[in-house]
Copies of this chain bind each other. A is one copy, B any other.
């Protein structure tokens, strides 16, 4: 009921915005088909990045507080948390390089941490600003961070420690930043249209993401047929458990997407 009420409210807001001409002119050329194609393609990226992370064990020391003190803080900004984990320090330093390289000049890309690194490395490019400025105020990073490290990662990675902490933290960053966060914000570009159609699509999106985990996650042999049904194979044959991918979309990606859309719309009404 609550969800239905919010959708009704959003439908009203949407119609009001359309009527009052507040729709960004720059999104006019961005059709619903384009957005849908982009999102469908991003599902592949998410499933690929999940499969890649599942290649490595959990590597628990990468996520425990380091207590390294001065040794660990070389090159990082002052005042950061000395109780930070290796994964957090690694993501901070990787994002600082990305920031210097201009990645966050594109408004669809949001770092987990704010950087004061000058943007000096990349050739200049004029990104179109087809997100409303209010989009910058919508940020679910804390939720994504906590969800990923506390809930999704333990489902994704087997217990074990192979010492490849940099590679696994890089894979973590790819999942939560490269695919997941961009996925959220892009939808704001055409949020008004999306909102009217997304609910009916939800079941399709969840089941398609699960199917991608099955197809991309199977072992491919030259001779055998491609198995597409879950019943044909034991779960042990998949590189990542398809039900985890379903759960990711069902419990996190879709609800967070809605949250971002709602906050974005509310900011636009300010």
Contact = CB atoms under 8 A, between A and B. Distances in A.
B45 A98 contact: no
Contact of A71 (B120, B125, B163, B178): B120
Interface string A218-260: 1111100110100000000001000000000000000000000
Contacts of A170: 98
A195 interface: no
Count the copies: 2
A52 B61 contact: no
A166 B226 contact: no
Interface residues of A, number: 64
A164 interface: yes
Interface of A: 40-41, 44-45, 48, 51-52, 55, 61-62, 64, 66, 68, 71-72, 74-75, 86, 89-90, 93-94, 97-98, 100-103, 105-106, 109, 118, 120-123, 125-127, 161, 163-167, 169-170, 178, 204, 207-208, 211-212, 215-216, 218-222, 225-226, 228, 239
